[in-house]
Amino acid sequence: MIDISYMKSRSAMYHFLSGLIMCELKDEDYAKYKNVNLASLFEGGAIKESAAAFDEYFKSPEDIEDLAVDYAKTLLGAGIAEAKAAFCIESIYTSAKHIIMQEAWVKMHELITNEGIRITNKTDIMEDHLSSELEYMAHICNKEEQPGEMLKAQRDFIETHLINWVLLWRDDVIKYSETKYYPICANLIADFIVSDYEEIKQILMQEKSDENTDEKAKGVPCSESYTLSRGEFDRLLEKLSEDYDVYAPALSHVEGWQDKDSEVRYKLVKSRDEIINDKISEFSPKELIYPISQVMFRFEENKCKPTDDTPTKDILIFARVFDINGTKRLDKIFLENGYFVDSYYKARRDHVKFVLMESKIAYDGCFCASMGANKCDESDISMAVDLDSDDNKDASINIKVTDKSLLSYLEGCKKSDYEPKFLENDPISVRIPRISQVKQIQKVHDLPFWSTYNDKCIQCGKCNTVCPTCSCYETADFLDQQNARTGERRRVWCSCMLPEYSKTAGGFVARPNPEQTMRFKTLHKIYDYNKRFGGDMHMCVGCGRCITQCPEDISFFDTINTLSDEVEALIKEGE
């Protein structure tokens, strides 16, 4: 249950922040702000630091006339050249021409009118002025009806009208202001919005979790297990194929420079015989969610048209546990990395379900247990097949369904008590380096062992291509042959192992050598990702494809273990 007092305290904070930038600081504000003690309201993080800086400022404030001049210059653009100010207007930051009274103003006008409220008594404050938007947040935080729905409305408003430009505005205030006060205010406003946004998301996630828990407590079945014959399983695939594009590892003929009759790739399947269950696929199922080449929009003369990459049918993917966990890493990168959701990725991801293919053996090069990616509970179906009975047409197949929308496909099938099992140990253990301090990074960066890859790695990028978690891409325009002013923009997979990936304007290549690209990739997989998102997940899920598919037989788990040994030596030196 969402506490009403929580909503009202947030309303008061938004009202307070609005007043900081609605007009210049007045004489009467000094005594009021001096006794606020904002830092006591927050437990930690950037917002507490910003609040403490605000409290500290009023112990020795600047001259009020200097602040008035700075307000006019920095926030109103008075007496300065264009684009040298931090205008508090959303339209200026979010419209194509960076001018006032654009789409953001229209939307804010509609919101305020629909609520039947007057944001401020000042007649010259625009509807999409930051102080107006903060006052609007104060208003909807103060509404007592349906607090859960109102919290969703507040989250949506922050996403649509605040967090999409306030951080840029804060940076401009810091850049152009000549006093200490307004950068402190800008930091306080931006940090509170970010903190509040994160807290709202956490509350809503907990509310959803509680709803699911309540549903389970009422006895509503959330999962069922079944035992199917070979024929029943094929009929299940037929039923699923009516509503889903069903993909699974299958033999695929290869034509190219390699002399290869076939390899295991993800293909559309309609029977058990097509599914390869005793080998790991050469490529991950990543390309089904995040295509190798994806059209972002089409342009024609002076206009462009976004493309809709939503699949015509939902997608059901038979995958190993590490590939499902690999998709969780991609979800973090594309859906939770900052404050913007990648709409192209989300358009496909929302239509994907997974079938976990239980593994009874450890595959070559696999070290998923060491990376904590050997278990998962995110699959919609789990499946176990007796590998020794593939030729037996009567061999049973165990199924566990955890998505209630899929239960109808199993009507009439024999129920069982099957629970998926997971491998507990790797054939070769991998030790994650203990990099716990930022000051260690420079020493890790300078380790001599990275240079050994100059004689090993050919920088082909295949390790990135087969990896289920690599997400790097580049964008390119493809012009129509008949008219060079029309065409489409695509994003295409790229590789951090390629020198060209780090090329900047002017032709400078930041990472030209294998030692630099290998270092960049390795640290991203076993340090940077975890540092960014926290928890116990690393970007590498230990599938081993980068090892088995490398033309130079470079072992990534050897790279990680060697780095771990080097880091331990650095730690001992520090002691």
Structure tokens of 213? Answer: 């828990």
Q: Find the mean pLDDT for residues 360-369.
A: 82
C-alpha atoms less than 13 angstroms from C-alpha of 459 in its C-beta half-sphere: 20
Angle, CA 227 vertex, CA 222 and CA 233 arms, to 5°: 100
How do residues 16-52 score in pLDDT, each as one tens digit? 999 898 888 888 888 788 888 888 888 878 898 999 9
Give the Cβ contact number of residue 491 at 10 Å.
18
Q: Is 249 helix (H, G, I), strand (E, B) or coil?
A: strand
CA dist 52 and 42 (Å) reads 10
Query: What does the radius of gyration of the chain's CA atoms come to, in whole angstroms?
Result: 28
CA dist 295 and 317 (Å) reads 23
Q: 199: left (phi > 0), else alpha (psi -120 to 50), else beta?
A: alpha
Q: Which pLDDT score, from 0 to 100, does residue 389 have?
A: 47
Q: Which pLDDT score, from 0 to 100, does residue 193 have?
A: 92
Q: Which residues, including other chains, have CB under 8 Å from residue 484's CB and lie 6 or more apart?
A: none
Structure tokens of 407? Answer: 């239960």
Q: How far is CA 450 from CA 467, 499, 557, 571, in A?
A: 21, 16, 14, 18
Q: DSSP state, 76?
A: T
Q: Which pLDDT score, from 0 to 100, does residue 393 have?
A: 54
CA dist 320 and 327 (Å) reads 11
CA dist 519 and 446 (Å) reads 10
Identify the band that residue 453 occupies on the pLDDT scale cut at 50, 70 and 90: very high
CA dist 458 and 553 (Å) reads 11
**Helix (H) or strand (E) run with residue 530 in it:** helix 529-533
**Helix (H) or strand (E) run with residue 175 in it:** helix 166-176
- How far out from the chain centre does Cα 536 lie? 16
Q: Which pLDDT score, from 0 to 100, does residue 220 have?
A: 43
Q: Which residues, including other chains, have CB under 8 Å from residue 245's CB and lie 6 or more apart?
A: 268, 311, 313, 314, 315, 316
Contact 346/359 with Cβ under 8 angstroms? Answer: no
Per DSSP, helices labelled H in 218-306 are: 230-243, 286-289
CA dist 67 and 73 (Å) reads 10
pLDDT above 60: residue 392: no
Q: Which pLDDT score, from 0 to 100, does residue 471 have?
A: 94
CA dist 323 and 376 (Å) reads 10
Q: What are phi and psi of 9, to 5 degrees?
A: -65, -35
Give the Cβ contact number of residue 157 at 10 Å.
18
Contact 85/160 with Cβ under 8 angstroms? Answer: no
Contact 68/75 with Cβ under 8 angstroms? Answer: no
Instruction: Kindly report which listed range (315-319, 426-430, 567-571) carries the lowest average pLDDT score.
Output: 426-430
Provide the residue type at 342 as one letter.
Answer: D
Share of the chain above pLDDT 90, in %: 46
Among residues 444, 422, 424, 423, the alpha carbon closest in space to that of 433 is found at 444
Provide the residue type at 21 as one letter.
Answer: I
Q: Is 548 helix (H, G, I), strand (E, B) or coil?
A: helix
The residue length of the chain stands at 575
DSSP secondary structure string for all residues of 442-456: HHHHT-GGGGGGGTT
How do residues 475-484 score in pLDDT, each as one tens digit? 999 998 888 7
CA dist 328 and 539 (Å) reads 10
CA dist 457 and 440 (Å) reads 25
How do residues 164-214 score in pLDDT, each as one tens digit? 899 999 999 999 999 999 999 999 999 999 888 888 887 877 766 555 444
CA dist 74 and 84 (Å) reads 8
> What pTM was estimated for this model as a whole?
0.67
Q: What are phi and psi of 573, to 5 degrees?
A: -60, -35
Give the Cβ contact number of residue 212 at 10 Å.
12
**Helix (H) or strand (E) run with residue 253 in it:** strand 244-253
Instruction: Kindly report which listed range (122-131, 309-318, 343-352) carries the lowest average pLDDT score.
Output: 122-131
Whole-angstrom distance between the N-terminal and C-terminal Cα of the chain?
Answer: 50
CA dist 430 and 368 (Å) reads 9
Q: Strand 397-401's sheet: what is its strand order?
A: 262-268, 244-253, 314-319, 352-357, 381-385, 397-401, 224-228, 414-416
Instruction: Kindly report which listed range (126-140, 216-230, 529-543) carries the lowest average pLDDT score.
Output: 216-230
